[in-house]
Amino acid sequence: MSDPSAAPRARISPAPGDVARLAAAYPAALDPGIGPKLQAIASIGFAVLLAIYAGWQLGLDFGRLTSGIGQLLHFITLMMPPDPGTQLPLYIHALGETLAIAFLGTLLGAAIAFPFGFLAAKTVIPNIFAHFMVRRVLDTVRGIDKLIWALIYVTVVGLGPFAGILAIATSSIGEFGKLFSEAVEALDRKPVEGVTAAGGSKLEAVRFGMLPQVLPVLASQLLYYFESNARQSTIVGIVGAGGLGLHLAEQIRVLEWNKVSFLILMMLVMVAVIDFISSRLRFAIIGRNAGTDQ
Amino acid sequence: MPSAIPILPEGQLAPQLARYDAALRSRRLKSFAVALVIGVCIVLSAVMGEVKPAVFVQNSGRLGDYFWNIAPVLRPDHLGGDLAEWYWNLDHWLKLLWDTLLIAYLGTLLGGVGAFILCFLASANLVRSPFIRLTARRFLEFCRTVPELVFALLFVVAFGLGPLPGVLALAIHTMGALGKLFAEVVENIDMKPVDGATAAGATWVQTVRFAVVPQVNSNFASYALLRFEINVREASVMGFVGAGGIGQDLIEAIRKFYYSDVSAILLLIIATVMIIDLVTERLRHRLIGMESGR
């Protein structure tokens, strides 16, 4: 409406009486009052105050932040171009190790979690106590980060990718157990009842009534976790459990920035390729609509 | 009571049976092929991952021993004294645990703010320019593909030891992960308010503020809480690379075989993670309830 000389436009303006009537009918629409606004201000204020307290408690220092950012930019210029130097074969081998850790860790975790998934499902084991215990054990396993498991396994089986496989497998048990049991609980009871009605035993009911239903769901979850574990297995090396992380931590420590950027690039490419392949496979298994696309 | 089962004449039955056998055979063949591919991958990975079952079986007793060793000595006749000895450093650990929570909080808050700003730019229904949208998306993708710990390693070199690199590493990863989720929420909003705001002459920022944000904020808060839960776990291992929190004491205890300290710290972490899980789950259910009550 900046130019009043322009062609007249039709404006719909309610008659004064209408405005009063509408205001009386919907008081909250025209004047929501101070309540919601106050609530929003209070929650934002609380978040900011807590952040300030956190900054003070952790001793965060603005000067260090700015000088650090300067340093970081300097490192980024040093990272160009990414260059493996003479260590390319070593890094390719580490990449293979990383893939092996992710693959075997996921598979082993799923294989061990598979029976737990049925044990932790209310519909299979009606005993509340047993199912509660299994769930709590799975929760505990899940509460410990992969890296902590890796560290523990390194002290038990020694340095190397095998410790990484065990670490990924252990924390996958917790995650898969929960997901599997939810998948089992969500399935359709009718085939199970059918098998039971035809005289099948409890085990046969699981094999022929439940398994065909849950298998595609489980397979797609397996692939999904393979993607996520591929990311995780790049870092278990930081504590000595094999793979790319080992070299990455080492090269950062000796400030070989070209190699650092090359290793990060390798990780990114590996993750992208795995994501691509596994999302293809997942769609093939469960259909395009059901998947959580990346 | 005799049951009547209609049996087809031989001429009709034979082709049906043959078709059934063929279908079964092709399915079996497919399953066999999948099993073969998986088997080959397992063998390859086992070779790459230096899996030595014999060594593992030989050493598997050590895993049990390890957990036996880290279990504290608790005698019923002077339980109080034993507990006090087990948690001899409780004050220090609680402070570190509190630091860990604050690192997770700051990381989630900063990352959430970043994701909040970027998610609107990455949404296909709000931004027409593919250049801006794809740049925002690729940036978020990069932030979430590089693991937190890799950022932490880099930042420890740039900013020095302490919680600052931990907070920044978590913030960047959180920004990538939440940005993607937020953008998905934004892409699924009801577009009518947006059209209304645009028709009334609102600028892009006003459209986002008045037409989009009211639709998405409870979903955003729910995702941010979920991320906070994950970040508490991640923050507990940031100390492994010197980025603050309880991880630094844990890695020292594991590396130096301070057995009872390991179990004491692990239990503290598990308890904290469980409490945070419970609290955030409550909060999220309330948020979701608010959303559906609208």
pLDDT in tens, A115-125: 887 777 776 66
| Interchain CB contact of B23 with A (< 8 Å) | no
Contact B45 A103 (CB under 8 A): yes
pLDDT greater than 60 at residue A4: no
User: Cα separation of B287 and B212, whole Å?
Assistant: 17
Q: Residue A242: its chain B contacts at CB < 8 A?
A: 49-50
Q: List the structure tokens of B33.
A: 């092929």
Q: List the structure tokens of B20.
A: 């059934």
Query: pLDDT tens digits, residue range B122-147?
Result: 888 888 888 999 999 999 988 988 88
Using CB atoms, which residue from A71, A155, A162 is nearest to B254?
A: A155
Contact B266 A148 (CB under 8 A): yes
pLDDT greater than 80 at residue A289: no
Q: Residue A144: its chain B contacts at CB < 8 A?
A: 266, 269-270
pLDDT greater than 80 at residue B99: yes
pLDDT band at B202 (very low <50, low <70, confident <90, very high): confident
Identify the closest residue of chain A to B61 by CA–CA distance.
A156
pLDDT greater than 70 at residue A255: yes
Whole-number pLDDT of residue B114: 94
| Interchain CB contact of A164 with B (< 8 Å) | yes
The lowest-confidence range among A8-22, A104-118, A156-170, A205-219 is A8-22
A134: region left, alpha or beta (phi > 0 left; psi from -120 to 50 alpha): alpha
pLDDT greater than 70 at residue A291: no
pLDDT greater than 90 at residue B78: no
Burial environment of residue A177 by CB neighbours within 10 A (0 to 12, 13 to 18, 19 or more): buried
Using CB atoms, which residue from B45, B236, B241 is nearest to A145?
A: B236
Amino acid present at A208: F
Size of interface A-B (CB pairs under 8 A): 167
Query: pLDDT tens digits, residue range B155-199?
Result: 999 888 889 999 999 999 999 999 999 998 898 888 899 999 989
Query: H-helix or E-strand containing A155?
Result: helix A146-157
Give Cα separations from A204 to A201, A278, B24 (angstroms): 5, 31, 19
Contact B62 A157 (CB under 8 A): yes
pLDDT greater than 90 at residue B258: no
| Interchain CB contact of A231 with B (< 8 Å) | yes
| Interchain CB contact of B41 with A (< 8 Å) | yes
Whole-number pLDDT of residue A2: 47
| Interchain CB contact of A234 with B (< 8 Å) | yes
Whole-number pLDDT of residue A11: 60
Whole-number pLDDT of residue B2: 60
Amino acid present at B115: A
If you write DSSP's letter for every residue of B68-133 in order, what string do you get? HHHS----GGGHHHHHHHHTTTHHHHHHHHHHHHHHHHHHHHHHHHHHHHHHHHT-TTT---HHHH
pLDDT greater than 80 at residue A285: no
pLDDT greater than 70 at residue A3: no
With a CB cutoff of 8 Å and minimum separation 6, the contacts of A283 are A291
Contact A99 B48 (CB under 8 A): yes
Q: Express the helix, strand and coil content of chain A in percent, nearest 5 each.
A: 75, 0, 25
Using CB atoms, which residue from A61, A143, A249 is nearest to B270?
A: A143
Mean pLDDT in residue range B72-93: 80
Whole-number pLDDT of residue B285: 82
pLDDT greater than 50 at residue B41: yes
Judge whether A166 and A157 are in contact, CB under 8 Å.
yes
Interface test with A, best of B52, B59, B141, B154 (most A CBs within 10 A): B154
pLDDT band at A1 (very low <50, low <70, confident <90, very high): very low
pLDDT greater than 90 at residue B111: yes
Q: List the structure tokens of A80.
A: 């160009």
Hey, is A144 helix, strand or coil? Answer: coil
Cα Rg for chain B, rounded, in angstroms?
28
Helices (H), chain B: 10-48, 53-70, 79-86, 90-121, 130-145, 148-159, 163-187, 192-199, 204-207, 213-238, 247-255, 259-293
